[in-house]
Amino acid sequence: MPVSHPSRVERLFIAELAGEAERYEDVVSEIKAIINENDGRLTTDERNLLSVAYKNLTNTQRNSWRTIDGFEKHQAARTSGSATRTLVLIRQQRDRIERELTGVCQDIVNLLDKQLVPAANAGEETVFYSKMKGDYYRYLAEFAHKKDRERYAELSLNAYKTAYKHALSTLEPIHPTRLGLALNFSVFYHDVRKSPERACHLAKSAFDDAVMTLDSADTIMEQTLRDALMILQLLRDDLILWSGEMQN
């Protein structure tokens, strides 16, 4: 008896089930199958599942990298002269995490470049995917070695610029995707470009534009308003933190 392939609805169910079980590699596998079977077109639910899966995969690895990097710096501060065996072992583990993290980031960037972005509708979908590109190039820039860091930073900047330009012309200032983009783009300026001034300028501009739109909040869907307010709070927190850095 021939084995039937899962339908799109069944694949989405499997992906949702895998997400509940925190099996994010399985989520990615199912959504990739949907992408391949539907010419790169995803529903909002499918797109969000893919985004959450890659976010969780990279968050775990980024946290691991920071932990090992901290151990290495602590050990190096205690060691004089040539590298000790302990330092060598720490660096080997850090290199392994870097290879795994690079693989995941490049995987989603390739998926975006080759299938998702070309098939995206103008407006929110294009902004969402371009923002994702900026995010994962930013992650690569955070831990890359010097020769690659600037290249990834430039690729991240270009993706964020493309997303932001499109967002300004197609999305309302209070739209959660536009606000989320402003939040992450400002983090790029702060963390990668080491420019709290630019980060504050971008965050404050997005914050002020959105707050001005709140006068018409009665016409905004409740869930959209809730999401927007949550991001506005994050923007406000960052503005307070970064402004304090500049004053100090």
Cα separation, 76 vs 86, in Å, equals: 10
Residue matched to tokens 């976010």: 55
- pLDDT of the residue at 121: 94
Name the nearest CA neighbour of 216 among 205, 228, 206: 228
Among the ranges given (7-11, 223-227, 242-246), the one the predictor scored with the smallest mean pLDDT: 223-227
| Main-chain dihedrals φ then ψ at residue 147, nearest 5 degrees | -65, -25
pLDDT of residue 168: 97
Cβ within 8 Å of residue 186, ≥6 positions away: 198, 199, 200, 202, 203, 206, 235, 238
pLDDT tens per residue, range 179-233: 999 999 999 999 999 999 999 999 999 999 999 988 765 667 777 889 999 999 9
User: Tell me: the pLDDT tens digits for 50-95?
Assistant: 999 999 999 999 999 999 988 888 888 777 655 688 888 988 999 9
Tell me, what's the pLDDT at 1?
A: 47
* pLDDT value for 183: 98
- For the question of whether the overall pTM of this predicted structure is more than 0.75, the answer is yes
Is 8 within 8 Å of 34 (Cβ atoms)?
Answer: yes
- Residue pair 47/69 in contact (Cβ under 8 Å)? The answer is no
Domains along the sequence of the chain with CATH: 1-119 (1.20.190.20), 121-248 (1.20.190.20)
- State the Cα torsion 96-97-103-107 to the nearest 10°: 160
Rounded-to-integer distance, Cα 129 and Cα 106, Å: 14
